[in-house]
Amino acid sequence: MQKLFGTDGMRGEAGRFPLDASTIETVGRSLAVHLSEKLSRTPVIVIGRDTRESGPWLERSLLDGVCAVGAEYHSAGVITTPGVAYLTRALPADAGIVISASHNPYQDNGIKIFSPSGQKLDDETERLIESDIREQSATQKKPSPLSQSEPNEARALQGRYLDFLTTEIGQGLSLSHLSLVVDCANGAASKLAPRLLERLGANVTAINKEPNGRNINQNCGALHIETLQQRVVTAGADLGIAYDGDADRALFVDNDGGLVDGDSALWIFAKYLQKRRELAGEMVVATVMSNVGLEIALHSRGLRLIRTAVGDKYVLDELLRLGASLGGEQSGHIIFPRLSLAGDGLITTLFLLRAMTEAGTTLQKLSEGFTRYPQVLVNVRVKEKRPFSDIEAIQKLADETESKLSGQGRLLLRYSGTEPLARVMIEGPNQTEIEQYANDLAHVIRDTLGAL
């Protein structure tokens, strides 16, 4: 059996292996058993989900497995992924399980498991769960509905998370002077985000906040920012905020409708923390996909950009290894490890609004100083994935290209993890030049590795 847990948990089409009722029951039972063995006591598990129609029966299946071995559980109902991470730490629980497929369409779902620290479940336990799945009976279990007998507990847990955001993260922050448009993606933030921002005094217009089980991420939220951009301009709002389905990421729109993505947000936060002498190591951690313009902008302030592989797991690992205080992805997944080890779109929002409020200026002004460089991406179908450095013609041209970019651009050569593709990505100040560089490299890769 192939590895089921990736860098962001286990994900797939709901109802099909491994997101079928029998396998998910095995996940719940296996996690509870291995926690019990590790702790030598009855484990406590907290569970939350987003708004997909498959969420309730997947939660029921998980609980069937958890309860079968006598573990204690708490259901937070519909809540954000970082909300579960917070509750796992605050209750405290021994594990937190999120049923969500983040930005994927409603047909998909997934399982993310957090440790009490807020980090993803350790690899060793994931392998043990995969082993138990491998040995499970092939008998298919019919999904059973989720009992609604404990709504009071879910409301209390959601309220506890909101209180944490309001009183600890939002302490002293008044938003009474701001008009906000919030795109909730018909997802887990649909009730939480407007309530949080209104508590802090903002004038909030919430859109895409009526989930029906199938409209999560559908032409809305962080993946489809165009509607929010139009609404911000039409309403004359100060800014717009867009979440994805489980609200672990946030993107922003300034008062002129301009997009402020994760790279722009990292630039704003780096300046803010540097001014307060709170940017540990004078560094920011981001992935290989962050624009070279961010690296150049940070360098202009004497700051370093440390790059990792794509995935918030790798960003967090590097933040912890280096003792850094800020990291994230271009997609809007930002991590402040001193506040939470889980990327949290609502924390990111409050942090941005605090930076704006303290500066007494607009989001557009705060974004100044970061120039996004043009980017070209060319895919080449290949018959094999040999290291590029082993092929003299490719390595020679890559070296020449990096020399031409000479600190004012960036070349990234990599293979797709799921398809037989080589990816040539180049960023630089001149669109025509980088297109030529990328096409030249693609031509050499096609000649040496190209599929027939």
Catalytic residues, which ones? 102
Question: Is the distance from CB of 176 to CB of 198 less than 8 angstroms?
Answer: no
434, with CB counted inside 10 A (0-12, 13-18, 19+), is buried
The DSSP symbol for 201 reads T
3-class SS at 234?
helix
How distant is the alpha carbon of residue 237 from its chain centre?
Answer: 26
Residue 95 CB partners (closer than 8 Å, separation 6+): 31, 35, 43, 45, 46, 88, 113, 114, 115, 116, 121
Q: What is the distance between the alpha carbons of residues 282 and 297, in angstroms, rounded to a whole number? A: 13
How many residues comprise the chain?
452
Question: Is the distance from CB of 261 to CB of 330 less than 8 angstroms?
Answer: yes
Q: Which residue's entry shows tokens 């790279």?
A: 263
Number of neighbouring beta carbons within 10 Å of residue 283: 20
